[in-house]
Amino acid sequence: MKREAVTEKILSKKRLKGLSWAEINGRIGGCSPVLITAALLGQMKLTREQAAVAADIFELDDEETLLLQEIPYRGSLPTAVPTDPLIYRFYELVSVYGTTWKELIQEEYGDGIMSAIDFDMVMERKPDPKGDRVQITMSGKFLPYKSY
Amino acid sequence: MKREAVTEKILSKKRLKGLSWAEINGRIGGCSPVLITAALLGQMKLTREQAAVAADIFELDDEETLLLQEIPYRGSLPTAVPTDPLIYRFYELVSVYGTTWKELIQEEYGDGIMSAIDFDMVMERKPDPKGDRVQITMSGKFLPYKSY
Amino acid sequence: MKREAVTEKILSKKRLKGLSWAEINGRIGGCSPVLITAALLGQMKLTREQAAVAADIFELDDEETLLLQEIPYRGSLPTAVPTDPLIYRFYELVSVYGTTWKELIQEEYGDGIMSAIDFDMVMERKPDPKGDRVQITMSGKFLPYKSY
Amino acid sequence: MKREAVTEKILSKKRLKGLSWAEINGRIGGCSPVLITAALLGQMKLTREQAAVAADIFELDDEETLLLQEIPYRGSLPTAVPTDPLIYRFYELVSVYGTTWKELIQEEYGDGIMSAIDFDMVMERKPDPKGDRVQITMSGKFLPYKSY
Amino acid sequence: MKREAVTEKILSKKRLKGLSWAEINGRIGGCSPVLITAALLGQMKLTREQAAVAADIFELDDEETLLLQEIPYRGSLPTAVPTDPLIYRFYELVSVYGTTWKELIQEEYGDGIMSAIDFDMVMERKPDPKGDRVQITMSGKFLPYKSY
Amino acid sequence: MKREAVTEKILSKKRLKGLSWAEINGRIGGCSPVLITAALLGQMKLTREQAAVAADIFELDDEETLLLQEIPYRGSLPTAVPTDPLIYRFYELVSVYGTTWKELIQEEYGDGIMSAIDFDMVMERKPDPKGDRVQITMSGKFLPYKSY
Amino acid sequence: MKREAVTEKILSKKRLKGLSWAEINGRIGGCSPVLITAALLGQMKLTREQAAVAADIFELDDEETLLLQEIPYRGSLPTAVPTDPLIYRFYELVSVYGTTWKELIQEEYGDGIMSAIDFDMVMERKPDPKGDRVQITMSGKFLPYKSY
Amino acid sequence: MKREAVTEKILSKKRLKGLSWAEINGRIGGCSPVLITAALLGQMKLTREQAAVAADIFELDDEETLLLQEIPYRGSLPTAVPTDPLIYRFYELVSVYGTTWKELIQEEYGDGIMSAIDFDMVMERKPDPKGDRVQITMSGKFLPYKSY
Amino acid sequence: MKREAVTEKILSKKRLKGLSWAEINGRIGGCSPVLITAALLGQMKLTREQAAVAADIFELDDEETLLLQEIPYRGSLPTAVPTDPLIYRFYELVSVYGTTWKELIQEEYGDGIMSAIDFDMVMERKPDPKGDRVQITMSGKFLPYKSY
Amino acid sequence: MKREAVTEKILSKKRLKGLSWAEINGRIGGCSPVLITAALLGQMKLTREQAAVAADIFELDDEETLLLQEIPYRGSLPTAVPTDPLIYRFYELVSVYGTTWKELIQEEYGDGIMSAIDFDMVMERKPDPKGDRVQITMSGKFLPYKSY
């Protein structure tokens, strides 16, 4: 059994039971809704307790429940350049702002990177009379290149 | 003359004069430092007034100054998957969280995208005893798919 | 169940029942035939009412009907450069006219893009004695790059 | 001498003389502004008369003027999937609507393609209180597959 | 059901019944053997009458017979550069002679293309004492670029 | 000095002297105009005598003249899938008809290929009231796979 | 049924029956063991007699036996650059020695290629005190480019 | 200075002086002509003595002579799949025979590879009344995978 | 049956039985845990004795057990550039340090490579108050390029 | 001025002055020879003091010396899959052992990665009667995925 099969089953049950991510994330709890959703989509792992709730919601069998607790082979996109417009816009930001981020982060912090591992993220609706905005706040620990 | 030549000259002058982006962005002003840096790196455009200041800082001739006011052919990376570790981490976030963003944004807002055009961004240092963090707050207008 | 399976079933039923897109789009109604066809091919979503009619036409079960109301992972082509001659001609237009569109749109409207989201399209037959023509009229809202 | 060098010189002169495409296309005339711009960007050819006017505007020498009358090796984009956001949106339309165009055109006209050669296009501003729209009307002769 | 499944079934029946393309093309008739073979391989479509004969030969059911009358998503090769030696040689001809064809056709006919749609082809054995030759005669309508 | 430089010089001289391929091929002679054009474009080689005439026409120096007599590194296209529409149509023929050619040639001749080396080609105008056609007759020796 | 299925079945039977290629090739006979192995792996074809023996060894049914007599769509590798170390070393030889082979073969024989069709190969163990060597002797007919 | 520049100069001098590889390899000596040619083409290195002779033949300066003694960044082909027909045929052999070599070498020697480093090669003309053959004999040490 | 199926079954049994690699590697024994894990993941082979233990642990049938003793088609990653962050970091090391390794190894040992075949590796936890470290010690035989 | 130009100049001076990396690294000092070599090859940065010594050794001007202190755009390889055999072997290790590293590291440390930033490396000669070995010891801080 592969992780993709669990993802597909979860999406199917979600659809048939008319569940929302808000409800699901609320019931599973224990960490950010972003992380839970990512785990159910096969990109993060759940704890044993979280997986037990997920098993209950999505009627998962033992192996499926265990798979949710395993670290997946990450990478959620079928192509190197994503074709879905919503996801592509984020790729576009990397393409357009990549060198800018590099210059500004390295001037401020020195040689290193913003971690994508020691990392967190919040998504919030930002009401705006001209049309509500999606606000994403990401924060990653700065990791300096080690000199040796 | 190509935009890349202006970028290369700007970086050379910055290097030889020992300027920082903070100083440069402060002198040019008029909008976010992120936007100014991106423009000087060939991804955004400056206003006439901003370009005049930039010309002064970087000793640009007429054509170079005009080029900074032109809309560039965007895309700052030499390869579809970036090789530089700092920039790659952002690509990795798109790869790992892409489908999660899609699910959560679309559940909250309906069918559409977060604009990468009607978009703004702030980068801030977030002090942390375990190591300072890079915080990036992005906000993009939600654009619903038009029904027709 | 994946969206592709619904698309395949829809095409199979259409074929066996001898239906045309014109008939199908007419029965489902509620928006442009282009949008309905795109939805049935897995690139757009239908409303609940539209999906109910589609379910009736194509003998869809509950999950299939729900899937038609979900926002799909968009991108209808199996390769980055399409191999089908009809579709390739559109790719060729982007390849040949891409920089021209960029120059002319940006001279007229300033820095920004033509939205592919707040977008509509009409396809019409344009009779011509030398051979009828396919006329496609696309209109997308101009979205200016935000200064921040 | 390569065609790219002529394009680069034309863009440089346009920039330094502060010319707009509207002015340039108006002075050269003889066909659609879209075609003239495309030719000056190295994707179409000009007639001898048009090239003479262009030579006058952009101070071109003999070989440059002749190059504008040659059929170029077409393809204006540096990568198979364009990175510039304005141009990418058109690629996205091909990706999302490609199979829909195929179905609808072929149901209406039979087996064949919409020509990208016997083709014309008009770009117009469509005023709209919610934000002006870019309207592009393309028409291409339908070419039926020959049976033999 | 997908077109590939029909192609696979046709090849299987051809194999088991010991049929040759010559026999098959002869029985189906109505157009060039090249076209019929291409249709049975999923790249062209048959008429209703031709499909009925094909159904008889290959014991096709209703949907399979209908699929043969549909316009396929064209492109018969699993990779952009074909790996099969016989097919690769044709790709090699495009690679080696591509720019030559462009120069000679455009000098003779002006700006335009040789159509691959209003196109026909004959394959003939050309006996030769040093080893028989494969002769392919292709003819495509010249389509001039439209000026507009 | 690279072969590309010779090709570029030849095209430049041809342009400035207003020569046609027909004239050039006529003056150089000794083999098919297709071969001569291909050689001048850097895909085939000329004999010493032919190169001497070419040197005279294009005012080539010694090394350039010698380069025309060398076997080039073949492959005339900048991308694996050609972007120029005229050349792309030939690629499309390989993509659409590749498996058909394989089936028909191998049924007729057995296991092997049509040589692209022991190969010749003629291009002819085929007048047609509905629009003249480009006719290309290719013939390649059939090479059977050796059994060993 | 596809050729890959026959290959998979053959490998499975070979495995379960504990057969070696040496035994298999010995029993099938009639040509080089290299050719027989290649055919059983789906890259060459067997004669009717050879296929009958293979059918006996691997318990093949009629269609499987016929498939072994068909010319396959050649190309045994899942990626353009092979990932398997043993096979990659051969790719590396092409990459490192490719231009050397071109220079030396063309100096000796003139313009043309070494055929990969009228070709044979022997693999032999070459005992060596420092470690036995794999010796591969390939011979291909030189095919001169035809002048026409 | 880059190795490519030395290769280009060597080829230019060879051309202008009318030298053959046989002569050059003979004068440089000290190892196989294949190795010397590969070194002069930038894929292998020469000894100090060999480089001195090469410097004499090709009028190389000090840095160029030193570069010939450096280990180059290997890989002689501009694309992953070579476009030159002579070189492509070798790639085709890898593609068609790759899995066969793997099976036969590993059955004979166990798990490991044929070294492309502890490797030698001879190219010989093999006269044949039906057309002379190119014979290449390669031998590489078998390297068993180490168990640890 | 394909090797991937055995890998998938092994991972499933491991999951359901709650086994760790440490336990599995301990029970199978006979070589490094790295090698055993790699073999169970389809990249190396086991001996007959090791495979028998594995069969016992994972309830493998005869063919599955035999497959573990076969040399696999190596290459464990679904894409040329790995998307999984843990694995990507190793790819990044090759990308960043590749030319450095080449310079330092070749200066120390001469022309040649570090073997990836006559190779071993140990992974160890290196406790560190600032966070434990993963230590990987690799050793490969230096293989000098053979002169011939 | 680009970093590549500095790298090229450094390699040229090293070559002409007959310097070894051991000497250079010894004179610059202050950190691991691996890091210094990587910096001189354009993948890491030097401190001001180190750059001053480097400037002295390689006769660098001011801008070149400053460039050595800048953080470079990392990625030293011209292609995603390296063609140089020495470097390719490391890529092969990632390809073959990637999933094994993932399993073993994650079992031992939990969900996270081995940092390629907080990372060090030592290369040592390991004498061996059967041929000396290259030993590379890498150690990277384990970074656990943050839960949020």
Q: How far apart are CA H141 and CA G136, in angstroms?
A: 12
**Chain H residues near residue G116 by CB distance under 8 angstroms:** 89-90, 92-93, 96
How many Å apart are CA G22 and CA G34, to the nearest integer? Answer: 10
Q: Please give the structure tokens belonging to residue H126.
A: 């093999």
Contact yes or no, D with B (3+ CB pairs under 8 Å): yes
Q: Do the domain assignments include residue J130?
A: yes
| Mean model confidence pLDDT for chain A | 97
- What sign has the CA pseudo-torsion J99, J100, J105, J106? positive
Mean per-residue pLDDT, J138-146? 97
Flag whether D41 is in a domain: yes
Tens-of-pLDDT digits for all 148 residues of chain B? 899 999 999 999 999 999 999 999 999 999 999 999 999 999 999 999 999 999 999 999 999 999 999 999 999 999 999 999 999 999 999 999 999 999 999 999 999 999 999 999 999 999 999 999 999 999 999 999 999 9
Which chain D residues have a beta carbon less than 8 Å from that of F84? 73-75
> Which residue among the candidates E92, E95, E103, E133 is catalytic per the annotation?
E92
Give me the pLDDT at residue A66, please: 98
Domain end among A68, A100, A119:
A68
pLDDT given at position H37 = 98
B88–I88 CB contact, under 8 Å:
yes
Of C8, C12, C84, the CB nearest to E75: C84
| Displacement of CA A54 from its chain's centroid (Å) | 17
DSSP state of A42: T
User: Which ranges of chain D have pLDDT less than 70?
Assistant: none
CA dist., res. J34 & res. J120, Å (int): 9
pLDDT of the residue at A138? 97
Distance CA B140, CA B105 (A): 11
Name the token pair of F38: 């291909």
User: What's the pLDDT band for C129 if we cut at 50, 70, 90?
Assistant: very high
Report chain F residues whose CB lies below 8 A from the CB of C92: 83, 85, 88
**Residue D10 structure tokens:** 């034309």
Do residues E26 and E58 both lie within one domain?
yes
**Does C contact J via 3+ CB–CB distances below 8 Å?**
no
Residues J55 and J89 in one domain: no
Same domain, F39 and F89: no
Asked whether residue D12 is assigned to any structural domain, the reply reads yes
Chains I and A touch (3+ CB pairs under 8 A): yes
pLDDT of residue I31: 97
Chains that touch F (3 or more CB pairs under 8 A): C, D, E, G, H
Domain count, chain F: 2
Average pLDDT, stretch F52-61?
98
Calpha distance H53→H55 (Å, rounded): 5
CA distance D105 to D114: 8
Q: pLDDT-based confidence at I71, cuts 50/70/90? A: very high
Query: Which residue in E76, E106, E75, E80 sits closest to E91, CA to CA?
Result: E80
Residues E25 and E47 in one domain: yes
Q: Which of J106, J115, J121 sits opposite A143 (nearest CB)?
A: J115
pLDDT band at J87 (very low <50, low <70, confident <90, very high): very high
As a whole number of angstroms, the distance between CA E82 and CA F93 comes to 13
Last residue of a domain, one of B42, B68, B94: B68
d(CA F128, CA G129): 74
CB G137 within 8 A of CB H135: yes
Q: Give the E:H interface size as CB pairs under 8 Å.
A: 12
Task: Tell me, yes or no, whether I8 and I64 share the same domain.
Answer: yes
Which of H37, H68, H99 is the C-terminal boundary of a domain? Answer: H68
Instruction: Say which of E15, E78, E83 has its CB closest to residue G66.
Output: E15
Q: What is the mean pLDDT of residues C123-139?
A: 97
For residue G31, is it within any domain? Answer: yes
Q: How many angstroms away from the CA of E19 is the closest CA of chain G?
A: 12
> Distance, in angstroms, between G72 CA and closest chain H CA?
11
β-bridge pairing H133-144 and G133-144? antiparallel
Question: Among residues E89, E95, E133, E139, which one is catalytic?
Answer: E89
pLDDT (average), residues J88-110: 97
- Distance CA(F121)–CA(C86), nearest Å, equals 29
* Residue D80 falls inside a structural domain: no
Q: What is the pLDDT of residue F137?
A: 98
On whether the CB atoms of residues I100 and J136 are closer than 8 A, the answer is no
Does residue F107 sit in the same domain as residue F51? no
C-alpha to C-alpha distances, G107 to B104, F71, H31, nearest whole angstrom: 65, 10, 19
Phi-psi region of I6 (alpha: psi -120 to 50; beta: other; left: phi over 0): alpha
Q: How far is CA F132 from the centre of its chain?
A: 22
Alpha helices in G46-127, H assignment, sequence order = 48-58, 62-69, 85-109
Contacts of J129 (CB under 8 A, 6+ apart): none
Cα separation, E114 vs D59, in Å, equals 35
CB contact under 8 Å between I143 and H115, yes or no, is yes
Across the interface, do E71 and D44 touch by the CB < 8 Å criterion?
Answer: no
d(CA A109, CA B134): 9
Residue G55 CA to residue G6 CA, distance in Å, equals 11
Q: Do G73 and F99 touch (CB under 8 A)?
A: yes
Residue F95 included in any domain: yes
Q: How far is H104 from chain F (nearest CA, A)?
A: 16
Q: CA-based Rg of chain I, rounded to a whole angstrom?
A: 18
Same domain, J60 and J91: no
Chain J residue numbers with beta carbons less than 8 Å from the beta carbon of A119 are 146
Between chains, do H132 and G142 touch, taking CB under 8 Å as contact?
yes
Whether A20 and A57 map to the same domain: the answer is yes
Q: How many CA atoms lie within 13 A of C88 on its CB side?
A: 25
Q: Is residue D74 part of a domain?
A: no
Q: How many distinct helices (H) and strands (E) make up chain C?
A: 6, 2
Rounded to whole angstroms, what are the CA distances from B90 to A115, F85, J65? 9, 37, 30
Domain that holds residue I11: 3-68
Q: Do J2 and B8 touch (CB under 8 A)?
A: yes
pLDDT in tens, H97-133: 999 999 999 999 999 999 999 999 999 999 999 999 9
Please report, for the domain that includes residue G16, its CATH number: 1.10.260.40
Burial class (CB within 10 angstroms; exposed 0-12, middle 13-18, buried 19+) of J105: buried
**Could you list the pLDDT tens digit for every one of the 148 residues in chain H?**
899 999 999 999 999 999 999 999 999 999 999 999 999 999 999 999 999 999 999 999 999 999 999 999 999 999 999 999 999 999 999 999 999 999 999 999 999 999 999 999 999 999 999 999 999 999 999 999 999 9
A47-69 pLDDT tens trace: 999 999 999 999 999 999 999 99
Question: What is the block-wise mean pLDDT of chain A (148 residues), using blocks of 10 residues?
Answer: 96 98 98 98 98 98 98 96 98 97 97 98 96 97 97
Instruction: Verify that G92 and G62 share a domain, yes or no.
Output: no
DSSP three-state, residue D126 = strand
Q: What is the pLDDT of residue H91?
A: 98
For residues B89 and B50, membership in a common domain is answered with no
Q: Distance between CA atoms of I98 and J118, rounded to whole angstroms? A: 18
Ranges of residues in chain E with a pLDDT under 70 are none
Residues J66 and I88 sit within 8 Å (Cβ to Cβ) = no
Nearest-CB residue to A16 (from C66, C80, C116): C66
CA distance J68 to F133: 62
Nearest Cα neighbor of H43 from J5, I111, J8 is I111
Assigned domain for I73 exists: no
Would you say the ipTM is above 0.85?
yes
Sheet holding D112-126, edge to edge: C112-126, C133-144, D133-144, D112-126
Residues G37 and G91 in one domain: no
- Name every residue in E having a CB less than 8 A away from some CB of D: 31-32, 34-35, 44-45, 71, 73, 99, 102, 106, 111-113, 115, 117-121, 143-148
- Distance (Å) of CA D50 to CA D25, D38, D74, F20: 10, 13, 20, 21
Q: What angle do CA C114, C115, C116 make, to 5 degrees?
A: 120
Annotated catalytic residue E92:
yes
User: What is the nearest CA distance from F25 to chain E, expressed in angstroms?
Assistant: 11
Which chain I residue is nearest to residue B79, measuring alpha carbons? I81
What's the CATH code of the domain at C124? 3.30.1160.10
Q: Are there at least 3 beta-carbon pairs closer than 8 Å between A and G?
A: no
C-alpha distances in Å from residue C139, one per residue of D120, D126, F130: 16, 8, 35
On whether both D57 and D91 belong to a single domain, the answer is no
pLDDT in tens, C56-105: 999 999 999 999 999 999 999 999 999 999 999 999 999 999 999 999 99
- Residue G41 confidence class, pLDDT cut points 50, 70, 90: very high
* Average pLDDT of the residues in J64-75: 98
Determine, for residues A80 and I81 on separate chains, whether the beta-carbon distance falls below 8 Å: yes
Instruction: Provide the annotated active-site residues of G.
Output: 89, 92, 115
Closest-CA distance, I26 to chain G, in angstroms, reads: 27
The shortest CB-CB distance from I95 to any of B83, B92, B96 is to B83
Whole-angstrom CA distances from C141 to A133, C75, D93 are 18, 21, 14
Do F133 and F126 form a contact (C-beta atoms < 8 A)? yes
Q: Can you read off the two tokens belonging to residue A144?
A: 């300096």
Q: How far is CA D41 from CA B1, B66, D87, F63, in A?
A: 15, 19, 15, 34
Question: Which of the residues B8, B49, B92, B103 is marked catalytic?
Answer: B92
Cβ(J101)–Cβ(I76) below 8 Å:
no
Share of chain H above pLDDT 70, in %: 100
Q: How many DSSP H helices and E strands does chain J contain? A: 6, 2
Tens-place pLDDT, residues G94-130: 999 999 999 999 999 999 999 999 999 999 999 999 9
- Provide the H-helix boundaries in D18-148: 21-28, 33-40, 48-58, 62-68, 85-109
